Every structure is written in C-alpha cells, then in structure tokens.
C-alpha cells in the first residue's frame, strides 16, 4: 500500500502528498466510527481507486509522534514563534507560554523576531539579551525588506513547522516569503485544493522546495498553560537547568524559600529577571489551577 502525508483535510476529503502525486482520498468509515480524524501531518497508507484522476481511500494512520491541538496538526517537529520587535509590542507572556508548551509536546521551538526594519534603537539587542540565555535559536528578520531568510529557510528543511504568535506580527508575510518560489512548484496542490477559496480555518501544510512543510495559523492573544505539573515548571526553563537541585530545600519553588540558587542567579544576572518574574506568574497560575482541581 502506498504511503503519504496528509496535507489538508476539507469536507471529508483528505489530500495526500505521495510519490504517486497528490491523491484525493476519502477516509474509510472506520475512522468516523472510532471518532478518529486524520490531521494534516499524519503519515498514512492509502489505496488507489482511480489512478488517472488520482483518487483513493485513506486506509490507515501511522502512529503520531506529536500532536498539536491548535492548530490541529500531527507530527509537528518545530514551532516557529513569531514576535514583532516593536509593533505590536512583543507579548512575552504569550511567547513564554508557547515556549513551554512546545517543550511539553516534544516540539523544538525557534523564535522569529520580525520587523527589524522598525528597530530605531536597541530593541533587537535587548531582545537578544532577554532570550539569548534560553539557548533557543533566534532569527532576526524583516519580511518586508527580505532580511534574514536564507538561514531561516534552511531551518525548515526536513521539518514540519507550525507558525504561531500574536496577530499582526507577520506570520503570513514570513510564510509567503519562505514559500514564495515553491508555491509555484506546488501548483498541483493549489489547483486541486483551490487555495484561497476556503478561509483557513483548517490547517494546511505547504510543501517547500527543500522538502520541509510549513503551516500558518491565525494569531491569538492568550491561552491557558496545561499539561504540566506545578513542580515541573522549572524544567521548561533551559537557563534554569544548570542551577537546579542546589537550593537548600528539596522541591524549592524558587519563590519564597531562603538559600535559593535560582534567586541568586537572577540577582547575579545568570537568569534574566523578566523571565523569572513570568516564571513566578505561571507558577502561581498553575497553583491556582491545581487548587481548583482539588476543590471540584
């Protein structure tokens, strides 16, 4: 049975990119019966029904390695979190939540700082200082002036990358620039799916000429941190790791306890104060969530 990757699902049809071309498939009834919905990014096996018209039936979904809920995409390997350097002002609460969420789901985050053409002072430097210690890859871009794209496009190679972030930061503009030349080459996809006719409520993977897949998402402003235990929050801060386990108290929350190496590191500049402040904010939020869970 041939194998392929679901690019998009719409109205009960699934478009599967495969060595045989783009195949339009219906899913077998068993999926609906079991309440399983094939997602973009799913690796699947299918059977050909009409070779000429490239029609088939989606038979089986291979086990998912990762699963994002919003957007609903399977097997995402990379989350590109986009902020604008100045307008709109970076929402670092959202950024930090997205960084944590990516790691919870075993997806590698990268940070894209867009609109650097609007940096009139030292905003980029400030951002670099604030997030450099996380060790996450940071790309400084201007989608408008086509700056910073060679390296970024290389990062998409062999990955399934989802773009996320606030509204208006330039996600779609960046994606169009990255996909630009390859959008032509994937004309096969555009004709068949009639790109643009449907509003993008459903995620769609776009294939790049270097073999990577990318997906856009509409901007959003906030979401709840879930899927982690209160005491594990510290594990999602890469710059905390070298200090952990050296506090006086086991299970130190790094907030009010004495002899806390995390607090020391914040004072000594080993950890950025702003990142730490948001850690406290998230810690308290998770604590409240936990209390509410027990009350119910």
From the list 161, 149, 154, 158, the residue with the least C-alpha distance to 211 is 158
Total of residues contacting ligand GTP (CB under 6 A)? 16
Question: Segment contacting ligand GTP (CB under 6 A): 6-14, 126-134, 142-150, 180-188?
Answer: 142-150
Binding mask 148-167 for ligand GTP (x = CB under 6 A): -------------------x
Minimum CB distance to ligand GTP smaller for 68 or for 271: 68
CA 206, chain centre distance (Å): 15
* Contacted by 169, from Zn ion, Mg ion, ligand GTP, none: CB < 5 to 8 Å by type: ligand GTP
Beta strands in the chain (DSSP E): 3-10, 13-18, 21-27, 43-50, 55-61, 67-68, 73-74, 78-84, 108-114, 138-140, 160-165, 206-207, 213-215
E strand or H helix at 153: helix 149-155
Question: Segment contacting Zn ion (CB under 5 A): 38-46, 210-218, 252-260, 271-279?
Answer: 252-260
Binding mask 14-53 for ligand GTP (x = CB under 6 A): ----------------------------------------
Among 143, 214, 260, 265, binds Zn ion (CB under 5 A): 260
Residue whose beta carbon is closest to ligand GTP: 219
* Contacted by 115, from Zn ion, ligand GTP, Mg ion, none: CB < 5 to 8 Å by type: ligand GTP
Residues numbered 158 to 177 that lie near Mg ion (CB under 5 A) are 171-172
142 bridge partner residues: 147
Residues numbered 168 to 227 that lie near ligand GTP (CB under 6 A) are 168-173, 218-219
Q: How far is residue 123's CA from residue 237's CA, in Å, rounded to a whole number?
A: 23
Rounded to whole angstroms, the maximal C-alpha distance in the chain is 72
The single-letter DSSP state of residue 85 is S
Residues numbered 262 to 291 that lie near Zn ion (CB under 5 A) are 262
Among 114, 153, 159, 186, binds ligand GTP (CB under 6 A): 114
Burial class (CB in 10 A: 0-12, 13-18, 19+), 47: middle
Residues belonging to the chain: 296
| Sign, Cα dihedral of 53, 59, 62, 63 | positive
Cβ 178 to Mg ion, closest distance in Å? Answer: 13
Contact, 165 vs 143, CB < 8 A?
Answer: no
**What are the residues binding Mg ion (CB under 5 A)?**
171-172
Report the interface residues with ligand GTP, using CB under 6 A: 114-115, 117-118, 142-144, 167-173, 218-219
Binding site for Zn ion (CB under 5 A): 247, 252, 254, 260, 262
């Amino acid at each position: 049975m041939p194998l392929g990757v679901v690019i998009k699902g719409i109205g009960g049809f699934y478009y599967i990119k495969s060595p045989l071309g783009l195949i339009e498939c219906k899913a077998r009834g068993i999926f609906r019966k079991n309440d399983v919905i094939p997602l973009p990014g799913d690796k699947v096996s299918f059977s050909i029904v009409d070779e000429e018209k490239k029609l088939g039936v989606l038979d089986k979904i291979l086990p998912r390695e990762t699963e994002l809920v919003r957007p609903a995409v399977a097997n995402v390997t990379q989350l590109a979190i986009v902020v604008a350097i100045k307008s709109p002002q970076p929402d670092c609460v959202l950024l930090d939540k997205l960084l944590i969420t990516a790691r919870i789901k075993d997806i590698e985050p990268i940070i894209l700082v867009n609109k650097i053409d609007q940096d009139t002072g030292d905003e980029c430097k400030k951002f670099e200082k604030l997030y450099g210690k996380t060790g996450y890859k940071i790309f400084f871009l201007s989608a408008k002036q086509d700056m910073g794209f060679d390296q970024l496009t290389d990062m998409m190679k062999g990955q399934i990358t989802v773009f996320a972030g606030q509204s208006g930061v330039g996600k779609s503009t960046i994606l169009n620039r990255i996909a630009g030349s390859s959008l032509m080459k994937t004309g096969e996809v555009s004709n068949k799916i009639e790109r643009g006719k449907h509003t993008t409520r459903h995620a769609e993977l776009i294939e790049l000429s270097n073999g990577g897949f990318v997906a856009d998402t509409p901007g959003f402003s906030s979401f709840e941190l879930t899927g982690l235990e209160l005491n594990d929050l510290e594990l999602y801060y890469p710059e905390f790791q070298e200090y952990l386990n050296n506090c006086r108290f086991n299970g130190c929350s790094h907030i009010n306890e004495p002899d806390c190496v995390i607090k020391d590191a914040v004072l000594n500049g080993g950890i950025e104060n702003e990142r730490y402040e948001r850690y406290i904010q998230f810690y308290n939020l998770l604590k409240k969530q936990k209390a509410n869970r027990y009350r119910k």
